[in-house]
Structure 1
Amino acid sequence: VSPEPPPSVPALCLLLMLSGAGSQTASCASWCPPNSTCDSATTCRCNPGFSSPLGESIISPAESCDDINECGPPAKVSCGKLADCQNVEGSYYCTCVPGYELASGGKTFRNESENTCQDVNECSLKQNPCHNTTHCLNTVGGYKCRCRPGWKPIPGSPNGPNNTICEEMHFPSWTRPSEVNSSQSLSRFFDKVQDLDRDFKPDLAKRTIQKLIMYLDELLEAPGDLEDLNPSTQHHIATSLLLGLEQVLRTLAQALPEPSFTYRSPSKTELSLMIQKQEKDGNRSVIVGQSHARMQLEWAVAGQDKDSGDGHGHTVVGILSSPNMKRLLANASLDMEPSKKAKLEETHENPVHGAQLKVLSAVNSVFLSNTNTEKLDSPVTFAFSHLQPETPGPRQELICAFWKGDNDRGGHWATTGCWKLGSENGSTTCQCSHLSSFAILMAHYNVEDPKLALITKVGLALSLVCLLLCILTFLLVRPIQSSRTTVHLHLCICLFVGSAIFLAGVENEGGQVGLRCRLVAGLLHYFFLAVFCWMSLEGVELYFLVVRVFQGQGLSTRWLCLIGYGTPGVIVGVSAAVSAAALNSQGYGRISYCWLDLAHGFLWSFLGPVTFIVLCNAVIFVITVWKLTQKFSEINPDMKKLKKARVLTITAVAQLFVLGCTWVFGPGPLQPSSWV
């Protein structure tokens, strides 16, 4: 048993242990990096809110403790809605987004459960944040400064809410058209507009609008010397009036205190305005209307365009309907879009040479605060009231048209970007992807060239007179009657009857292939085939007369009539039977003309026999001219060559017509593209 240690030994051991711990702590604290604490003699640990790239423990003085971004992606904390996370060194805090504050009035919070962010009503503060020329309008998360009625932002005023400064509204400038000097009526109108400009006050904007419409009615109801101007000048004036009225009314509407305004003058000119004074849902629809027109669109479409620089004004939607404006737009032309024209030509089976127009509705000028309306984000729907027209014919159509100004003609009607949705009971619904001045027109399409139609009708009328004289001559003058004149007589009769039917009934005005049109087509088929059959008999008679002069006098009258009238009867009978059986009676008659249908090759029931007859007569013509040349040499060998050529040429030309060789152009008028 060892002896007990002296009492001083435990105390000494304890003293040595405390001394060792102190030396360890002192050695650790000397090398730990910033934002860390000593963990042991060999390791350190980063403070809360900091981290080391190599792990939790730091074992080298070269390592560092970096700030943890609690707000950065991926987010380690959530502040909730309408709040932002703000990172600070070693920590973070949450704040409400601008325009919102905590219900307690505090500035910061730590987590989503403490989020009580709510909208701040900046306009209820004691100190108005807006300029004294504006009204403060609270919005969700902010506010806006809007000019008071009759005021507008001064030029150069920034769009920021605090710096908006307004000035009293002035009557907008209206540039006089150059045609003012040539018209006293127009000059008086603009003199009155100048008076409105001089006496204008924003609080009297409603009265100014009414006077402006009254002056417009006086100008259009009694245009005076305006009617003496040429159409192009009248169209220039109409374009200037429509554009100027839109600009003036758009501006004056900003000064109206009411959210809507409608005025109807004694001359039935109407103005309807809708004014949106506060921010609302841009997708909400608005309907503006009066007796002449109604319009539906979205407020977002009506709002001012971003590039206008006038973002503080109210949103305006307006329609000005003027029944008298169409006086200046009379005789205006219509420019059809290519696809529309192609569809019409396909329907009418003929080229379309423009249209004759009649304005049925008032001229409705549509304007918005948004002046960039050439291509809208969403289409606008219109319903226009107009005169109840008679049932449109096959070449007539109600169309939605808009007025488009140009430098050459002053302006014209167009349809591009507008289409008709329906029409009934004196009202037509349209949709357009742009805005302008609109009207409902009755368009009568010209599906044939008026000059060519005149040539056809005059030529046929003269032909009928001459054919009638020929028929009377062959019937009444006995000395010239022979088998040859018999062929001439029946040829003239068939050509007379066929031409008369063609002149009277070839056009199908009804637009539907009915019994009348089929009957006309069948008669034309028969008589024109009979014409060519008698022309073939002309060739046969000529062949017997010139080539076989000593071998008989040709066919008898009975055989001539049997061939001349029987052959076309057989062809037409077979064609009608085939049409009824195979084509459901659609072989005779077309939409535009009462003639043979082009489909299924049915036209060859006419072209086939005609081609055969013309080719045969052409051969006979060549043989005849050759024989005549020989006979001229035999009969009078002393005849000079020039005289012989002249006589032969005259005879050949006469035979060319008699044999019908010029009828190779005959089917041309019945083909849309055969203008030759």
Structure 2
Amino acid sequence: MGGTGHSVFFLLYVLCVLWTLFEAESQKTSDCARWCPLNSRCVNATACRCSPGFTSLSGDIFTNLLENCDDINECGPPLAVSCGKFADCQNTEGSYHCECSPGYQLASGAKTFKNESENTCQDVDKCQRKPRLCKGRSICINTQGNYTCRCPPGLELNLSDPNVCSDVNECTSGQNPCHNTTHCLNNIGSYECRCRPGWKPIPGSPNGPNNTVCEDVDECSFRPPVCHNSTVCVNTVGSYRCRCRRGWELKPGFQNKQMNTTCQEMSFPAWTEPPGIKSQRLSNFFKKVQVLRRDFKPALAQDTIQNLITSVDELLEVPSDLDALALPERHKMATHLLSELERVLRTLAKAMPGASFTYRSPLNTELSLMIQEQGDGYTTIGQSHARMLLDWAVAAAARDSDPTVMGILSSWKMQKLLANASLELDPETKAKLKDLHQSPVRGAQYELLSAVNLVFLSNTNTEHLDSPVTFAFSHPMKTPGPRQGLVCAFWKSDDRGGGHWNTTGCWTRGTSNDSTTCQCSHLSSFAVLMAHYDIEDPKLALITKVGLALSLVCLLLCILTFLLVRPIQGSRTTVHLHLCICLFVGSAIFLAGIENEGGQVGLRCRLVAGLLHYCFLAAFCWMSLEGLELYFLVVRVFHGQGLSKCWLYLIGYGVPLLIVAISAAVRHEHYGRSLYCWLDPEDGFLWSFLGPVIFIVLFNAVIFVTTVWKLTQKFSEINPDMKKLKKARVLTITAVAQLFLLGSTWVFGLFLFNPHSWVLSYTFTVLNCLQGFFLFIFHCLLNKKVREEYRKWAGWVTGNRYSEFTTSSSNQTQAHRPSESGM
């Protein structure tokens, strides 16, 4: 039993073990299929093995469910495979192979091999391929495993295609292979050094190689000449030019300094009379100009210029009928003469031989010329009257190849034509004067100190110069007084052909003993002027206007009084009346039209000046008649009653009419000035007013002294008991009244239109602007008979008859009283 039991137990045990092993094997196979990754196979239930050519992080066998089998890079470091020379290892999925390097191939023609022992890689000749790798003129050079494209000399690889060669331009490569006297010519793959046109190889130097050296060809030495016989050949570097000879000018259609330039002999420029000016003297001058033009020869240009200056001097030395021209016509003639002289002298100067010329006429007119082909920097030209410093580039005309001309013509005689022209100050000068005098400048009179200097250049576009020109003008030394100043002025033409002096664009830089330095930004005719500035005095202007207005009212009252008051009628009242009428009309015209607003002397201004001349002369003639009447009344009291009314009117109105008529016939252009409508002091014309005034004032002064002396004697004879104080009062009132009646205060008026003295100006203004007021006071209000008439008129106006009774009683009472002067 025991043995049998053990056998049965052993059998059961064996069966259990076999059953367990069977189930374990079944379980293993089932798990391996589920979790071994790609490129691996199952080893057992718990491990996997990577396929050949793959590995995991744990090695070929791994048990981690998260691991993968990755490809082994047999070609990577560390290098485990060697393919041999000229071959490269190429890794594949789970394996590798070897390939020949680019430019090499296996001898068998196969593409790959497995190990170094199979390596038969050898170089391939790429330059034998079709089509060619190197294009154009490039050369293929085979190298170990590669090739190179090279260019022959004179060519270079194209940057956009390294297999193509393009030409190298040695002439622009910056290497400057040729000498600077030659011209580089590029060829395909090469270059040449050749002489430029107008150049030739120096002796012993060939033309073409890179060592060629050239020299200029002197075309002006060729025979026959290369230029026309009317021109001069000028050799230039590599070429030549033909320019007109001195004294010749271009033919129409040609340009100067060209190879085909053709010239003709220069002619005297045409010069005709200015239109609208009738003058026999001027006509004779232009006849001489036409003779100079007809006989002109370029070789005699110097003599022609001298004769022309002499003719101008003769024209201005004895102006004759030129003086009779009106100022606008005279200034128009001056503008024409200056502009045409500039044009003619500029042309004739180009025919002058040499580089400079100076001529001084017997009448002290001086011309300086400078003629040069070319110049640089600053240059100076001058003579005894004027000097000029300027940049040569300013003198040369743009695009003008003629010789450059600079000239100065200084004439003292030209002052006669330019006299009495207006002076226009630039705004900057006016502003400075206003700040200096604390009053605006209304204008300026002037005195010409220097000669008139006509400046001209080859450059005719001189209205706005690139750089200013400096002048030094000689003149007699004169120290400026109050309200005066030395100014540099130029003659400026206007639209009507005339002109005036102007200071715009010219500045006074300094004054020495005998010259003034000026700087101008343009060119014209220049002169140094002593300007007398008309500084407006607001106080004086107010006094004048208020005083004249008051005088006009008082003069009107005087006129009405002398006409209507019968008790005072007589020859003296007639003289008083017409004196007041003349003063009233003259003061009204003075107040309304003395100022010349436009600055131009026209018909209105001349008419105002003529009327003022007549009215004030008539007033003074009536003042002289006042003196005569006073003389007959006081001195010759027993020898008649004076002049008749016929003689009074003839002297009072006829004499001034005669003076004004003669003055207007001789110098009508002197009526009117640029600032005031009054007489122009030029040529002493103001004496047509001052002469009679001074004579009458002196005559009346004698009458005044005689009258006062005689009155003193008569007061003593009539009433010797009159007190001295009362006698002195009566004499004083009478004397003051006669001062205004006889016009003695007008002696202060000599400076009315050119006030250099403020004291005289204010004295004259106060006394004479109020002359009508004083006449009304002394000859109306202080006259007892006039006062009585005023009382009567006042009574008639108010209807009060008591004033008339009072006046009658007063007259009776006064008849028994000692006489008092009522003059």
Tell me the TM-score normalized by structure 1. 0.59
* SS class of match (1:366): strand
Give the secondary structure class of the aligned counterpart of 2:523: coil
Residue 413 of structure 1 aligns with which residue? Answer: 501
Classify the secondary structure of the residue corresponding to 1:47: coil
- What is the CA-CA distance between 1:57 and the residue it aligns to? 6.4
1:384 to 473, 480, 503: 473
Q: Structure 1 118/54 Cα, relative in aligned 2: closer, same or farther at 3 Å?
A: closer
> Within 5 A, what are the aligned runs for 1:272-311?
272-276=368-372, 278-279=373-374, 281-283=375-377, 285-306=378-399, 311=400
Q: Which one scores higher on RCO, CA 8 angstroms, separation ≥ 6?
A: 1
1:446–1:80: structure 2 CA closer, same or farther, 3 Å change rule? farther
Whole-angstrom CA distance in 2 between matches of 1:476 and 1:78? 123
Map residues 161-172 of structure 1 onto 2, 5 A cutoff. Answer: 161-172=258-269
Choose from 171, 186, 194 the match for 1:71. Answer: 171
Pairing 1:106-145 to 2, within 5 Å after superposition? 106-110=206-210, 114=211, 116-140=213-237, 142-145=239-242
* Correspondence list, 1:337-356, <5 A: 337-356=426-445
Deviation at 1:365, TM superposition (A): 0.3
Q: Secondary structure at the match of 1:393?
A: coil
Alpha-carbon contact 1:28-1:38 (below 8 Å) kept: no
Q: Is contact 2:367–2:410 with CA below 8 Å preserved after alignment?
A: yes
Q: Does 1:231 align with 2:231?
A: no
Describe the SS at the equivalent of 2:304: helix
**Change over 3 Å in CA distance of 1:57–1:225 after alignment to 2:** closer
Task: Give 1:55 deviation, angstroms.
Answer: 8.7
**1:50 aligned to 2:139?**
no
Contact 2:256 2:402 in 1 (8 A): no
Pairwise CA distance, 1:295: 1.3
Equivalent in 79, 85, 90 of residue 189 of structure 2:
90
Instruction: Supply the AA of the counterpart residue of 2:240.
Output: Y
1:299 aligned partner, one-letter code: W
Q: CA deviation at 1:360?
A: 0.6
Query: Which residue of 2 is the match for residue 364 of structure 1?
Result: 453
**Deviation of 1:196 (Å):** 1.2
Q: CA separation in 2, counterparts of 1:454 and 1:233?
A: 38
Matches within 5 A, 1:273-672: 273-276=369-372, 278-279=373-374, 281-283=375-377, 285-306=378-399, 311-389=400-478, 391-408=479-496, 410-448=498-536, 452=541, 455=544
Amino acid at match of 2:155: F
* Cα-Cα RMSD: 4.3
Q: Is 2:124 aligned against 1:35?
A: no
Whether the 8 Å contact between 2:423 and 2:501 is mirrored in structure 1 is yes
Q: For structure 1, which runs of at least 5 residues remain unmatched after alignment?
A: 1-20, 59-63, 467-474, 479-503, 522-641, 645-676
Q: Deviations over 1:355-398 (max 9, x none)?
A: 01111111010111111111222221111111221x21121111
* 2:417 alignment partner AA: L
2:250 to 144, 148, 153: 153
Deviation of 1:427 (Å): 0.7
1:10-36 alpha-carbon deviations (Å, 9 max, x no partner): xxxxxxxxxxx9x98776796742222
Shift of 1:222: 0.8
In structure 2, what is the Cα distance between the partners aligned to 1:260 and 1:292?
17
**Compared with structure 1, are the counterparts of its residues 361 and 457 closer, same or farther at alpha carbon in structure 2 (3 Å cutoff)?**
farther
Which amino acid in 2 is paired with 1:235? H
Show CA shifts across 1:280-302 (max 9, x none).
x432x332211111112233221
Matched-pair contact (CA < 8 Å) for 2:133–2:140: no
Q: 1:477 to 1:457 in 2, by over 3 A?
A: farther
CA contact (8 A) 1:43 1:57 kept: no
Output the TM-score relative to the length of structure 2.
Answer: 0.49
Cα shift readout 1:442-489 (whole Å, capped 9, x = no counterpart): 0010002699388279769989x99xxxxxxxx9889xxxxxxxxxxx
Residue equivalent to 1:103:
202
What is the one-letter code of the residue matched to 1:298? D
* 1:103 to partner: Cα distance: 3.2
Q: Distance in 1 between matches of 2:133 and 2:328?
A: 96
Structure 2 contact 243–256 (Cα < 8 Å) conserved = no
For 1:189-247, what per-residue CA distance to the aligned partner results, in whole angstroms no more than 9, with x for missing partners?
A: 11111111111111111111111111111110111111111111111000000010111
CA shift for structure 1 position 48: 2.0
- Render the CA deviation track for 1:475-513: whole Å, top value 9, x for unaligned: 9889xxxxxxxxxxxxxxxxxxxxxxxxx9xx99799xx
Looking at structure 2, the residues matched to 54 and 204 of structure 1 have their Cα atoms a distance apart, in angstroms, of 72
Kindly indicate whether residue 268 of structure 2 is the aligned counterpart of residue 179 of structure 1: no
Measured after TM superposition, the shift of residue 78 of structure 1 is 5.3
1:490 is matched with which residue? none
For 2:138 and 2:262, the matched residues in 1 are separated by 56
1:606-639 Cα shifts (integer Å, max 9, x gaps): xxxxxxxxxxxxxxxxxxxxxxxxxxxxxxxxxx
Query: Percent identity between the aligned chains?
Result: 52
Note if contact 1:394-1:510 (Cα within 8 Å) is conserved in structure 2. Answer: no
Q: Secondary structure at the match of 1:361?
A: coil
Distance apart, 1:85 and its partner CA: 4.0
- Whether the aligned pair in 2 keeps the contact of 1:153 and 1:312 (CA below 8 Å) is no
The one-letter code sitting in structure 1 at the alignment partner of 2:520 is C
State how many pairs are aligned: 452
Shift in Å, 1:88: 2.6
Secondary structure of the residue aligned to 2:364 is coil
Q: CA deviation at 1:152?
A: 1.1
Instruction: State whether residues 250 and 264 of structure 2, in contact with CA within 8 Å, keep that contact through their aligned partners in structure 1.
Output: yes
Contact 1:71/1:85 (8 A) holds in 2: yes
Distance 2:438 2:263 in 1: 63
| Residue identity opposite 2:151 in structure 1 | C
Question: Using a 3 Å threshold, how does the CA distance of structure 1 residues 66 and 374 change in structure 2: closer, same or farther?
Answer: same
Residues 46 and 56, structure 1, Cα contact 8 Å, conserved in 2:
no
Task: For 2:248, give the aligned amino acid.
Answer: W
Distance 1:286 1:508, change over 3 A: same
Distance 1:317 1:353, change over 3 A: same
Distance 2:346 2:223 in 1: 35
Aligned to 1:190: 286
Q: Separation in 2 of the partners of 1:393 and 1:24?
A: 107
Cα distance change, pair 159–219 in 1 and its aligned pair in 2 (3 A): closer
Q: Judging changes above 3 Å, is the alpha-carbon distance between structure 1 residues 251 and 395 closer, same or farther for their aligned structure 2 residues?
A: same
Gaps of 5+ in 2: 1-122, 556-723, 728-750, 763-796, 800-823
Secondary structure of the corresponding residue to residue 324 of structure 1:
coil
Aligned partner of residue 48 in structure 1, secondary structure: coil
Per-residue Cα deviation, 1:620-665 (whole angstroms, up to 9, x for no partner)? xxxxxxxxxxxxxxxxxxxxxx979xxxxxxxxxxxxxxxxxxxxx
Q: What SS does the corresponding residue of 2:420 show, helix, strand or coil?
A: coil
